[in-house]
Structure 1
Amino acid sequence: MIEIERKFLVNSDAFKTEAYMSYSIKQGFLNSDKARTVRVRLKNDKGYLTVKGKSTANGLSRFEWEKEISKSDAEALLLLCEPGIIDKTRYEVKSNDHIFEIDEFYGDNEGLIVAEVELNSENESYKKPHWLGKEVTGDLKYYNSLLIKTPYKLWKH
């Protein structure tokens, strides 16, 4: 139940040709407190309820619990969420023994593309794909729970 991941910006859309899967995600937050977030997600036709704890100081690890719920329950819970819905397409790309999940955001976060790779330990090595850019692990502004409050369109670029 501890999630270990690294997060990166993406410097090209070359990942799209390498993706073996993609799907639509809409998500909102019932609670976006940095000590604990409660997320509702609609991934294609499946719903999910996820609780995440506070990240470690280096941003690599945090508690995560997720349960699949019905599509109708997810749709009803999305109506109760804090203002701001995340709308994105997720692409999955295999790189050696790892899977990179790349999120291309829409709406108020249009133009933002972030990749994550889950690891089994904080020191685990992985192969960086050529389209992977700057690491932003631990940079809170890239957390989805903060993108609803300060969307990418409001950042100074």
Structure 2
Amino acid sequence: MRPTLDAMGIEIERKFLLAGDAWRRHADAGTRVRQFYLAIREGLTVRVRLREGRKPMITIKTGAGDARGEYEYEVPEADARELEAARVGFVVEKRRHLVPLGDLTVEVDVFEGALSPLVMAEIELPAVGHAVDLPDWIGREVTDDPRYTNAAMALNGRPDGDAPQR
């Protein structure tokens, strides 16, 4: 049986580059996101995310591809800020916009700082293989390209650019 989004600890998502900015007509104002990694290795990442208006979270992701293990836990803000000193790579900063797409939501990340001007879209799915009618502003799929994971970019910078300054 293939995992579904309802299964505990499973994240099913597809990632895309964008082919235009028509998404902006349907997007919310966005939320600032600041995240860093405590561990990055093949098949495992440990991330701390501070997101405007929400409690900080520590997230453990396992596996690769469109269906991965994902475990999230709240962490006190003071602890999250102290953990940053132990980070691997540099801090990833972005503004996340939500765009409705039928019964799904597209999360559009507009990266800032060293990863600018990269803009990517993620769509979380209820099941592997769930059909999605993609709008024309969605470009090339990069779900299976490990260079486009936030963890890889925290270490190596934009896949199409120079390595960031730490």
List per-residue Cα deviations over 1:100-151 (Å, max 9, x = no partner). 0111111111111110101121111122122111111110000010001110
Structure 2 Cα separation of the partners of residues 121 and 51 of structure 1: 20
Indicate yes or no: 2:85 matched with 1:73: no
Indicate yes or no: 2:24 matched with 1:19: no
Letter in 1 for 2:60: V
Secondary structure in structure 2 of the residue aligned to 1:9 = strand
Letter in 1 for 2:130: E
Indicate yes or no: 2:60 matched with 1:54: no
Structure 1 Cα separation of the partners of residues 129 and 104 of structure 2: 14
Structure 2 Cα separation of the partners of residues 104 and 151 of structure 1: 14
- In the superposition, the TM-score normalised over structure 2's length comes to 0.86
Letter in 2 for 1:32: I
Structure 1 unaligned spans of 5+: none
TM-superposed deviation, 1:66: 0.6
Structure 2 Cα separation of the partners of residues 6 and 15 of structure 1: 17
Match of 2:3 in 1: none
Say how many residue pairs are matched: 152
TM-superposed deviation, 1:21: 4.9
Letter in 2 for 1:72: A
| Aligned pair partner of 2:141 in 132, 135, 145 | 135
Mapped contact 1:47–1:73 kept (Cα < 8 A)? no
RMSD: 1.4
Match of 1:91 in 2: 97
Mapped contact 1:88–1:104 kept (Cα < 8 A)? yes
Structure 2 Cα separation of the partners of residues 145 and 36 of structure 1: 10
Structure 2 unaligned spans of 5+: 1-8
TM-superposed deviation, 1:82: 1.1
Percent identity over paired residues: 34
Segments of 4+ moved more than 4 angstroms: none
Match of 2:4 in 1: none
List per-residue Cα deviations over 1:56-114 (Å, max 9, x = no partner). xxx11110001122222221112221131101000011110100011111111111111
- In the superposition, the TM-score normalised over structure 1's length comes to 0.91
| Aligned pair partner of 2:114 in 108, 119, 131 | 108
